[in-house]
Structure 1
Amino acid sequence: MTTTPERRRTAGDVVLGILLLLAGLFVLGNAVLATKASILLLGWIAVCAGLALFLGAFFRIGSGRFWSAALGGGLLVVLGVFTLRNPAIGAATLTLLAGSLFLAGGLVRVVFAFQLAEARWLLLVSGIISVLLGLYVLFNLSTASLALLGVLIGIQILVEGLTMLVAGRVRSAPAGGMRLGAAT
């Protein structure tokens, strides 16, 4: 039996969409706090994942993969502790990565704009905007690192909320319109 995606919006989707919109506005209003919280969360995730990987390495002693798992776990723990002790440097590092990704993605879109006639202007405009955003972030790293991650998280939460509010969730339904569990 094959399934096809089906879009349906329920009252719960509307409520969740409104809550996400409010949360996105709150995060955008407190972008610096959201950046700090995300960096600290990322640091704790790295520490916990590193410890799990390091401890899991002892179950691989006989397989020959012990050292790679133990070294990877140890590096994750060190990275997490470093991020927790220096959240400003962690934020600057992630902001540098984000700026580089904006710049690289924009350059790729600009190059593809000259190769694809169908969406040339859309690719060119979005590529130029991404390049400018990447250059702005990279040239203003010290000021951008304080709030950029929080702004990006806030925008993502807003987009998720709008999507949930307008479109609802996509669910799988059996092909032919019949629901699972429906009487035939």
Structure 2
Amino acid sequence: MSDWLKLLLLGILSIVFGIIVLGAPIIASVAITTLAGFMLLIGGGVQVVGGFTVEGAGNKILSILMGLIMVFLGWSFLKNPLEGTLTLATVIMILFIAGGIARIILSFQMRGTQFFWPTLISGVLSLALAGYIFANASVGLALSLLGILLGIEMLFNGFGLIFTALFVKSGENELKQA
């Protein structure tokens, strides 16, 4: 099977899964939270164990403490996945705010260049999205937010893979003609 065909099939598969995720965003959100819970548990456990090998009492305590916090968050996400999903949605909103503010500040440092407006608009859109999430902070939106974002990303990824496949195929055709 040629490379472009593999990319094409992966792109189609990603789009199909993206549509499925968008059809059941709350289930996808809870699945993301559960996966994050497992990852936090494992990562926290490794952090705690690794903390005992760190040099210096302060570093050792900090490392073990951070590991314990990760274990607690992981256990909390697994024990209460709906509340964990709300927590992750809140974290995403905060990240949108922080990223938006950072890009707006950065855009003013780019004033007079071709990058000013795209960077400024990107920052404003992030703040607008965070505002939308905050204004509609109902449990339904928060519970479905992670799934919606995952579904959209899967669609974008699928289209990107399809376009890449077509680009690779056109390159192969040009090589054959040469």
Find the counterpart in structure 1 of residue 153 from structure 2.
156
Inter-partner Cα distance in structure 1 for 2:36 and 2:90: 16
Q: Which residue among 8, 19, 26 is the counterpart of 2:13?
A: 19
| Residue 151 of structure 1: how far off its partner (Å) | 0.7
Inter-partner Cα distance in structure 2 for 1:51 and 1:106: 33
TM-score by length of 2: 0.76
SS of the residue corresponding to residue 141 of structure 1 reads coil
Find the counterpart in structure 1 of residue 143 from structure 2.
146
| Residue 95 of structure 1: how far off its partner (Å) | 1.3
- Corresponding residue pairs, total: 162
Percentage identity across paired residues of the two chains: 32
Identify if the C-alpha distance between structure 1 residues 107 and 116 changes in structure 2 by more than 3 Å, giving closer, same or farther.
Answer: farther
Inter-partner Cα distance in structure 1 for 2:78 and 2:72: 10
Pick the structure with more helix per residue.
Answer: 2
- 2:114 counterpart of 1:118: yes
Inter-partner Cα distance in structure 2 for 1:99 and 1:75: 21
- 2:26 counterpart of 1:29: no
Identify if the C-alpha distance between structure 1 residues 57 and 19 changes in structure 2 by more than 3 Å, giving closer, same or farther.
Answer: same
The C-alpha deviation readout for 1:43-102, integer Å capped at 9, x for no partner, is 1111111122223334x17x3354333222222111111111222222222212212222
| Residue 122 of structure 1: how far off its partner (Å) | 3.5
- For the aligned residues, what is the CA RMSD? 2.8
Identify if the C-alpha distance between structure 1 residues 81 and 121 changes in structure 2 by more than 3 Å, giving closer, same or farther.
Answer: same
Q: Which residue among 128, 131, 141 is the counterpart of 2:127?
A: 131
* AA at the equivalent of 2:143: L
- 2:44 counterpart of 1:44: no
Pick the structure with more strand per residue.
Answer: 1
Q: Which residue among 87, 92, 95 is the counterpart of 2:89?
A: 95
Q: Which residue among 73, 76, 86 is the counterpart of 1:82?
A: 76
* AA at the equivalent of 2:128: L
TM-score by length of 1: 0.74
Inter-partner Cα distance in structure 2 for 1:137 and 1:122: 22
CA contact (8 A) 1:109 1:127 kept: yes
* AA at the equivalent of 2:66: G
| Residue 161 of structure 1: how far off its partner (Å) | 1.1
| Residue 157 of structure 1: how far off its partner (Å) | 1.2
SS of the residue corresponding to residue 70 of structure 2 reads helix
Structure 1 stretches of 5 or more lacking a match?
Answer: 1-7, 169-184
